[in-house]
Chains A and B, each alone.
Chain A
């Protein structure tokens, strides 16, 4: 097989795995920002917390990897509800600066707290046997774990899409994202809906954190290090759009990987060029709610 095709396949495969990780973590941020307009910079901290729940479950309690991910989802989702009620809710009507300061404060506290308990270094986990090694596709081998990451990402995207498009709650969420006041006027309890969405989004970030351990590694500063990427995915995809987050994650994941593969000197430069280009043409992102208006 020619070098070009080999490179292209490598880039697409690795990029897709990276993209799915970005999607799983960012989708919750996109929906909650679209729904409430709340700038939650602590989203990275939720992902980080999920990563550490996974580590703690596996290394201290001996829980296998997949159940540990499920536990990470529920732990972060449930933990986010009192946070939302006590800290986020009072600031819904406040300015963006207040929201940013509060959520960044939470992030700092989370980083300090996790460093205190687990130390500053990334913990290691031992993956189950079936996720180790490579899968041989005949012409090329790929790491099994990245294959798993892609499958998980697609399954989650489909499940979320069905939930949004085919259930009453999904319809209510879409209605509230499109026009919150109108949704409230027709009797949709947007507050309750938001708690639910916030918990779901946070839980997904938690799972993403667990999945990230074996791709980018997790450490207390994960909460900040990758926050910019999550925000880019949200901005490029468009606030509150599931399709947008999915497409943006794929575009950015593949382009970032391609940039690093083809032109390592340029490093992470490409992702920002793409972001600027997309936002110049479509200031509300691919599927932002302002785009159609």
Chain B
């Protein structure tokens, strides 16, 4: 080898690292199609998730590896599924988005799932909690929760710790409602309790007058009354009706998933909510360092009176997952690459440690037992009575119903 050639080879070798480093400087534009409820009664959910996503982007600009992220937002309005599906179709064909994200209501996610498969676009679910949603497409990953994360352990807890032998279940009559009821029933009956009333309580679009349903439960006198309603306006009405009918005085204990003690609604519920026990994965009241920082950033961005809730955390964690997928693939997004990056992804979320289960593409996280208490400053708060660590969706673990037959 001549000296000249040797020098040339040496130069080449020396410049290699520079080449390797200079590649990511070529910033890619990643388009994210965001499908959320931005109008109507469900606008509050869309706002929470939207803000959670934005907040993560503002506070962690470095997490995206220098690539530009453009959010293209579409309003899915209501839980029917049709509007969301149209929006997703448009996002995939006209806007050519790299990743789909959002999805407040389960029917919207279900209706959109086939399009994610056909268009080979990864879909990050930030709320919709019906257990079998990830089975609908190989390109779905969920960062939020399933109804079974709360319903199943709540059923066990109601029997084993709260001492309820009989229970009634009331639920809003749409997929996550039935799912939550099934989760509770499975947990409750497998630990020895019996479900004596099973009451669908109207659809998700309108808040019904809950009185006839609750009166029926009161007359049946179970030990526990498990209620699933969509978070938000339904939940406030549930607490109010329960108090108006004097059901607590009649010896019935109201329990449910944390949707009924949502952070954003809690202060409006007043004394009627004190003592309520729910199972959930997040409350703004968690005193962990990660959450304190998250809540402080939230209040700095959206006002002192504003409170993040579990939906905001869904948006925040979802954006973190997307950031991870983008940096892993160096800004060039494919469906397979995204799913590979998210498989087994772990993150310190405001709710605690979370992971995407490589098998089910669903979330693994802690389920916490919440009790509503009155704090010294007069505000209502959440105390954590106990934790069931790192719960993988029990519906899929036990292969129940549609969760079993993928």
Contact = CB atoms under 8 A, between A and B. Distances in A.
A261 interface: yes
A18 B215 contact: no
Interface string B43-64: 1100000000000000000000
B233 A143 contact: no
A215 interface: yes
Given A221-B40, A264-B216, A121 B245 contact: no
A101 interface: no
Contacts of B291: none
A11 B206 contact: no
A141 B203 CA distance: 28
A58 to B, nearest CB: 14
Contact of B41 (A143, A219, A264): A219
Contacts of B219: 3, 6-7, 10
A11 to B, nearest CB: 7
A260 to B, nearest CB: 4
Contact of A124 (B39, B40, B236): B236
Contact of B212 (A6, A141, A219, A261): A261
Nearest to B232: A121
Which of the four size classes fits the interface of chain B? 20 to 34
Interface in B16-71: 39-41, 43-44
A37 interface: no
B215 A216 contact: no
Nearest to B201: A264
A268 interface: yes
Contacts of A122: 207, 233, 236
Contacts of B41: 120-121, 219, 221
Contact of B237 (A17, A18, A217): A217
B215 A219 contact: no
A40 B292 CA distance: 52
Contacts of B233: 121-122, 217, 219
Interface in A232-281: 257-258, 260-261, 264-265, 267-268
Nearest to A126: B270
Contacts of A261: 212-213, 215-216
Q: Lowest 10 CB-CB distances: which A-B pairs, in order?
A: A260-B212, A143-B244, A261-B212, A264-B199, A134-B246, A124-B268, A10-B215, A257-B212, A120-B43, A225-B206
14 contacts: A6-B219, A15-B212, A120-B39, A122-B207, A122-B233, A124-B236, A219-B41, A219-B233, A257-B212, A261-B212, A261-B213, A264-B199, A265-B200, A267-B173
